[in-house]
Amino acid sequence: MVGPTASLSNLSRADGSASFKCPTTGYKILGSVNAPVELPGRRDALKPEEATVEVFIKPGNTTAGVGERYVEGIIRTMLQKLILGRERGFPRRGVVITLAIVGGGAIARGDSYLTLLPSLLHTSLLALLSGAVPMSMTYSTALVAVSKSNVIISNPTLVEAKAASSLHVLAFSSKGHLLLNESQGRFDFDTWKTVQQCAHALCRGVDLPEVDGDIAMEAQGDSGTAEGFVRETVENHLYRDYAWKIDTE
Amino acid sequence: MVTSAAAPAPSSRPALSLPPSQFARLQPHAYLLAHLSPPSTNNQPSIRANGRAPTQFRVTSANAGSLTHTNGSAVVRIGDTAAVCGVRAELLHTEDIASWSVSQATSSNKSPRSVDQTEELGEQDDNETIERERAHIEDLNLLVPNLSLSTGCAPGFIPGSAPSSLAQSLSHQILSLLHSTRLVRADDLRIWYQPPSMGPEELERHNEEEQMDVDTAQNDPVEESPREIKAFWVLYIDIMIISLAGNAFDAAWAAVLAALRDTKLPKAWWDVDNETVVCSDSISDARKLSLRGLPVASSFAVFEADAAAGWRAVVIPEAAEMKAQRLARKGGVSERWLLADPDGYEEGLTQERACVVVDKDTDGKVIILEMEKNGGWTIDTEDLQQLVDLSSQRWEDMKRILDEC
């Protein structure tokens, strides 16, 4: 299966930026992060001891509507908790994340946003890493669908997602916490548990029985998982950036 | 701390004691924490600052049919949060839909008779019926919910201002839940027209051989020309939050549900001579919507004991480690509480939220229709299981309340 593609720091004027393309849903997202910035005219809304996280989503072919407000809210709530907004220079300032949907199908009014959510979350994570915004953990997300015949489809296409009886987006932190769960459709709790295991495997690989936490993780190799993908993208970028230094050694 | 503050201040010494209300404003986090973890010396149960147990919902009341000029309406009050919902039905003629003739030709044209049969079977919808439902309700936007918070419902919301992002995302959440639960049946919203069968006159235009074929076909019981949809009802669902004290979504969704259960659509038919849709005046002709199931939403918040966690550069433990710590501490003081139906004060102190929408089928089996969890990392699988159980208990209460109203 073709994995997603991503590149870091595509935009020169933003503090951090990333583009991300999901092969199964076809969405292509361009994200930028500016942090820390002064938010003009928002004195009352700014928190005195923390950074304010703002997320803006721009659909490819229309203006942002209520659906985008809803997804912005989801991403903001999740990132607010992960970004260390009390670090030096961040309080009273803003972390502004702008995500533009530059490719892929349009999402109509009232449609489920869940197919797009993993791409948006991955783009914002890569952009935050590119902008060197301090975070307590990284995360990885997965989209899982359950079809009418109760078959679990990981990374469904848009057609499969539309025909599915339930759709789930889960995000796991780099330490294994369940950060986000958005499930829609008809399902029961046992189905959700299977979905959760499937999503966990997609994001972080299969858990080995705990012997030596970090050694087990290393040995297993995280290529193919969503977390491994983020790690590889950032590593590749660093190798390119430091090529001058590595070559001289 | 609280017990000393709650005790009446001695009149002789008005010095340093604060009334509880002032303490609640100055140190909101410590105030709620002191309520939830009382000192082990006095045998007080862990209780929230508003007097509820952690998993207790607020007193809920519902009243249907409050507005006379709507097709259906309801007022739902959950504690101090009150939502008014009105459903107004308007006609959408198919000739006003730009792509109607095209989309009808392309969509799978089952004969309307067989569609009716599957509709009558109720829950056993096949894929094609679902697809048609989706095509009509979602693509034609037959449900239009809108939520307004600009009513002076809470100090943070200025009356008359543009819809805040909270109001917008709540509107979207309600619409997307209406779509994903398929609560309203598309067939309730369709206005059909049965053209009278013209009989043999039509046949005269055909030549001999074709007439032969048609004659054999005429032996079939189905000889009438197919029914066609002439118009749709569009439901405008307007929700006003007239008082907001936390948990706007539960109140808004309960109001939508109660209002849709109350909605009556007048009998409408296509008048061939005037080429328009005519509605009946009499209430006895009007019929109620037949909704699919009764999805009930319950929201939860997680209150964390360590308010200073954000201040210090703490290393967050691995998930497995965190669970082990929690198990070790079981029976002792827990470090976080799941609060059902948070009020405005508690919402200001919590970041992690969960929302579960459940329904029960006729056998009493719990079906989850939506499950959301965001804004933190303390809720794990076992907690979600507990939340689903709490939500199914809440479903029973809400069913009783909605049936009575």
- Which pLDDT tens digit goes with each residue over A237-248? 999 989 988 888
| Cis preceding-peptide flag for A48 (omega within 30 of 0) | no
pLDDT of residue B217: 46
pLDDT of residue A119: 95
Assess whether pLDDT exceeds 70 at residue A45.
no
Residue closest to A19 by CA, chosen among A156, A117, A120, A139: A120
Hey, what amino acid is at B231? A
Identify the weakest region by mean pLDDT among A177-191, A213-227, B157-171.
A213-227
Interface of B with A in 361-380 (CB under 8 A): 365-380
Q: Is A98 on the interface with B (CB under 8 A)?
A: no
pLDDT band, residue B252 (cuts 50/70/90) = very high
Interface of B with A in 169-188 (CB under 8 A): 169, 171-173, 175-176, 178-180
Give me the domain span that covers residue A235: 5-248
Token pair 């979600």 is found at B384
What rounded mean pLDDT belongs to chain B? 81
pLDDT band, residue B312 (cuts 50/70/90) = low
Assess whether pLDDT exceeds 60 at residue A84.
yes
Assess whether pLDDT exceeds 90 at residue B101.
no
Global confidence as pTM:
0.86
| Domain locations along chain B | 27-37+44-57+298-404, 65-292
Assess whether pLDDT exceeds 50 at residue A213.
no
Share of chain B above pLDDT 90, in %: 43
pLDDT of residue A112: 82
Assess whether pLDDT exceeds 80 at residue B127.
no
pLDDT of residue A43: 62
pLDDT of residue A116: 93
pLDDT tens, A69-79?
999 999 999 99
| Domain count within chain A | 1
Residue closest to B62 by CA, chosen among B289, B252, B323, B293: B252
Whole-angstrom Cα distance, residue B63 to residue B251? 13
Assess whether pLDDT exceeds 60 at residue B114.
no
- Whether A141 and A171 have beta carbons less than 8 Å apart is answered as yes
pLDDT of residue A44: 63
pLDDT band, residue A207 (cuts 50/70/90) = low
Distance from CA of A31 to the nearest CA of B (A): 21
What is the average pLDDT across A30-43?
Answer: 84
The CATH architecture one would assign to domain B65-292 is 2-Layer Sandwich (3.30)
What is the average pLDDT across A6-13?
Answer: 92
Number of Cβ atoms within 10 Å of the Cβ of B88:
17
Identify the weakest region by mean pLDDT among A191-205, B327-341, B343-357.
B327-341
Among A215-229, B26-40, B143-157, B166-180, the range with the most confident prediction by mean pLDDT is B166-180
Whole-angstrom Cα distance, residue B92 to residue B191? 10
CB spacing of A183 vs B372 below 8 angstroms: yes
- CATH number for position A36: 3.30.230.70
pLDDT tens, A161-173?
988 999 999 999 9
Assess whether pLDDT exceeds 90 at residue A65.
no
What is the average pLDDT across A9-15?
Answer: 93
Cβ neighbours of residue B360 under 8 Å, at least 6 residues apart? B294, B366, B367, B392, B395
Q: Is A74 on the interface with B (CB under 8 A)?
A: yes
CB spacing of A192 vs B368 below 8 angstroms: yes
What is the average pLDDT across B234-244?
Answer: 95
Share of chain B above pLDDT 70, in %: 79
pLDDT band, residue B224 (cuts 50/70/90) = low
Q: Is B162 on the interface with A (CB under 8 A)?
A: no
Distance from CA of B207 to the nearest CA of A (A): 46
What is the average pLDDT across B273-288?
Answer: 90
CB spacing of B373 vs A80 below 8 angstroms: no
pLDDT of residue A42: 63
Q: Is B142 on the interface with A (CB under 8 A)?
A: no
pLDDT of residue B12: 56
Residue closest to B326 by CA, chosen among B289, B281, B364, B378: B378
